[in-house]
Amino acid sequence: MKNFLHNTKRAVLVTVVLMIICGLIYPLVLTGISKVIFPRQAEGSLIRVDGKVVGAETIGQEFTEDYYMWGRPSAYHYNTYTEDENGNLVYSDGTEFAGVSSGSNNYAPTNEALTERVENDMEKFLERNPEVKAEDIPTDLLTASGSGLDPHISPKSAQIQIPRIAEASGLSEEKVEEIVSEHTEGKLLGVFGEETVNVLMVNLDIAKEMGVIPAE
């Protein structure tokens, strides 16, 4: 019995010490170091306009206006929701808000729900981009990323939207191409990954050029 109590005491002590080290001291030290070395990233890479937070560089948003660039679909509409006249929380398309979450549905290619959603998205895209053929739509414009929150699209996905954006925004295609080029990120270390375009950053510049938000 004495040994049992002694071992239990030691086990509890070790557990408490490890909880303090791993659950408190270690995270605080890492957070402190990150705020010194990467202060902006440590705060979430937040983007502010007129002192108000309008998004984050690393989190996708849902854009539906023709004068903005569209991003990848999200299984959860990037958690953007509003309250209807009955007090119910709904997504932008009117469907019921499913709660705060992220991630893709991981549907198989043969899943009927996935097929229906892709076909509907393709139909809407072709309707709003009449100069684009179905076979020319890049895959990433019709499929969600693994996180469901990816803020990037491929350069090709950005390029095929330029004519629509230019016509709807009143900007020249050359100006829109310039904005897209400014926010095209290369491969990591020139080797890893693929070139990507940050949709939110592109749309902020488009909004500035249109006078929707003040230019810095």
Domains of the chain, residue spans: 2-39, 45-210
Mean pLDDT of 75-89: 70
Kindly tell me the burial class for residue 203, based on how many C-beta atoms sit within 10 Å of its own C-beta (0-12, 13-18, 19 or more): buried
In angstroms, the CA 61 to CA 133 distance is 25
On the question of pLDDT at 171 being above 90, the answer is: yes
In the structure, what pLDDT confidence band is assigned to residue 57 with cuts at 50, 70 and 90? confident
Residue pLDDT, tens place only, 115-131: 888 888 899 999 999 98
Percent of all residues in the chain with a pLDDT value above 70, rounded to a whole number: 87
The mean-pLDDT minimum among 33-37, 41-45, 49-53, 118-122 falls in: 41-45
Per the model's pLDDT, the better-predicted residue between 105 and 30 turns out to be: 30
Its pTM stands at 0.73
Task: Identify the pLDDT of residue 158.
Answer: 95
Kindly tell me the burial class for residue 129, based on how many C-beta atoms sit within 10 Å of its own C-beta (0-12, 13-18, 19 or more): buried
